[in-house]
A = this chain, B = another copy of it.
Amino acid sequence: MINIGLIGFGNVGKSVFDIFAENGDLISNRIGQPIHIKKIAVRSIEKYSSQVPDPSLLTDSVDDILQDPDIDIVVEVMGGDQPAYNFITQALTHKKHVVTANKEVVSKHKRHFFQCAKEHGVDIYFEAAVGGGIPIIRSLKVGFSANNITAFYGIVNGTTNYILTKIQEEGKDFNTVLKTAQELGFAEADPTMDISGLDAAYKCVILAAVAFKIDVQLDSVYYEGIESISLKDIQYADELGFRIKLLAIGNRIDPDTFSLHVHPTLIPKEHPLSSVRNEFNATYIVGDQVGESMLMGKGAGGSPTASAVISDIIDISFNLSQSVSYRNLETRFSDAQVQSFDAHECQVYFRLSVKNTPGVLEQVSLQFSKHSISIEKIIQKEMIDDRADVVIITSPMSESTSRLLQENILSLDSCHQISSVLRLIKSF
C-alpha cells in the first residue's frame, strides 16, 4: 500500500483526486500494489469539505502530512514560492518522495531540492511544471538521454498561444481576444504572468536544467511578452509565409555556452510548431543523435496537469517497490556560461511607418547595408494619407546591432515610427 499526502486542493489537486477515483484500479494495476490519497492539506477545511466524500481526508495542518510516517509521497500542488519551498524541503527531509507541479519553486530552488533529496535518499519529480500533460521532462531525462541536446523551442504557455491563434484565425485584435480568453478560462483575471512571458521564462529555466544540465536562474533568461503583437503583424507575417509564436528557446552555442530567451518569433507556416494551435503546448527538441523531435499536448487545465502529476507518482511507485533509483535528480549540474542576449543573432522582421515619398526605401535600405545586414524581403503596404507601412525581413543580426539599426532608422526624417521588431527563425 502506497500512501499519498496532497498539499493544495485547487484545480490540479482536485483533478488528481478525481483521477484516482476514476482510474484508481488502472493506476494500482500499473504499479502492482494499492495506492491511495491518505490526507489532503488545505487552508480551510470548511471550504473544501463538500468536495470530498470523506471530510476526514482534509486537514488544515500540513504537519499531518509531513509528520505522518505512513505517507510515502507528498504531492505539492499549491503553487508559488513560499510556503511551497518550506513544505517541499520538509517533506524531503522527512524522507518522503515529492511530486510538484510548481514551475516557480522548481525553477528557483531546483539545486537545493536535488541536493536535499539525494541527502535523504528520496526523489523529486516535476513533470507537470512544464507543458502540463506532455511527458517532456521524462523524455529529456530518459527518452533522449543518449543525446547531447543542442536546442529546444517550446510553446510552453497556453494562454499566449490561445491568444495568438485567435488573433490570427479570427482577425480580431489583442484586447478583444484577451477578453474572450478570460471569459472562457484560458486567461487569468490578471494575465500579466502569462502575457509578459514570465511564465514561459520560468519554464525555460526548468527546460535548460533538464535538457542542458545547467543550473541557471530567471535573470539568465531574456524574456519578452506578446503585449505588443498586433493583428497587422500577424497578417503581414501570414502573407510572408510565417506564424508568430511565443517561444521559449534554448540553444547550445558551444559545449559550455548557452543562450536562453523567450520572445514572440516568426516561424515558417509549414513548421510543425505552427500547427500547435489554441491552448496546446509543444516542445521541439534537437538532439545530436535523435535529430528533431516534437512533443505536443495540453499544457494546462486540471486533468492534463493531474495526468502528469500521477505519471510521476506512478514512476516513484515503481521504484518504491524496490529502493529509490534517483533517476530524476540532476546532481551533476555543469558549470556553464549563458551568453548575453546582446550577442544572440537571428533574422529580424521590421514593420516601419514611413513617409510616402520617393527615395524612402533607398534611405531605409542604406541603414541596413551600413551594418552589413542584407534585406531578404521588403514589401510596402497600406498607404494612408502620406504614410506607408514597410515590412522588412533581414539577414541575421545580433541584438545589439538590431538596437543600433533601430536608432539609425528612427533618426531618418522619412521614418515616422518603428511599429514592430520581431525575431524570426527559419531553420531549427
Contact = CB atoms under 8 A, between A and B. Distances in A.
Given A139-B139, A292-B298, A304-B289, A310 B146 contact: yes
Interface in A289-316: 289-298, 301, 303-304, 306-308, 310-311, 314-315
Contact of A148 (B26, B296, B308, B314): B26
A143 B139 contact: yes
Contacts of A145: 27, 30, 310-311, 314
Contacts of A138: 135, 138-139, 142-143
A291 B295 contact: no
A139 B148 contact: no
A67 interface: no
Interface string A321-347: 111111100001000000000000000
A135 B326 CA distance: 20
A319 interface: yes
Contact of A147 (B23, B276, B318, B322): B23
Nearest to A270: B275
A239 to B, nearest CB: 18
B293 A298 contact: yes
A319 B320 CA distance: 12
A288 interface: yes
B289 A19 contact: yes
Instruction: Pick from A27, A32, A139, A301 the residue with the most CB of B within 10 Å.
Output: A139
Nearest to A15: B289
A134 B147 CA distance: 13
Contacts of A288: 22-23
Given A27-B146, A275-B270, A306-B146, A322 B323 contact: yes
A289 B275 contact: no
A142 B304 contact: no
A426 B134 CA distance: 23
A148 B291 contact: no
Given A274-B275, A307-B287, A23 B146 contact: yes
Contacts of A377: none
Contacts of A134: 143, 293
Contacts of A147: 23, 307
A29 interface: yes
Interface in A132-186: 133-135, 138-139, 142-148
Given A293-B133, A318-B327, A311 B272 contact: no
A298 B290 contact: yes
A271 interface: yes
A127 interface: yes
Instruction: Pick from A26, A127, A296, A308 the residue with the most CB of B within 10 Å.
Output: A296
Q: Which 8 A-B pairs have the closest CB atoms?
A: A135-B143, A293-B297, A146-B310, A133-B290, A275-B275, A290-B307, A289-B307, A294-B296
Given A138-B138, A294-B296, A322-B325, 10 more contacts: A30-B145, A127-B143, A272-B275, A272-B276, A272-B296, A289-B307, A291-B297, A292-B297, A295-B295, A295-B296
22 contacts: A19-B146, A19-B289, A23-B146, A26-B146, A135-B142, A138-B138, A146-B307, A147-B307, A272-B272, A272-B296, A282-B294, A289-B310, A290-B304, A291-B297, A291-B301, A291-B304, A293-B298, A295-B295, A296-B296, A318-B325, A321-B325, A322-B322
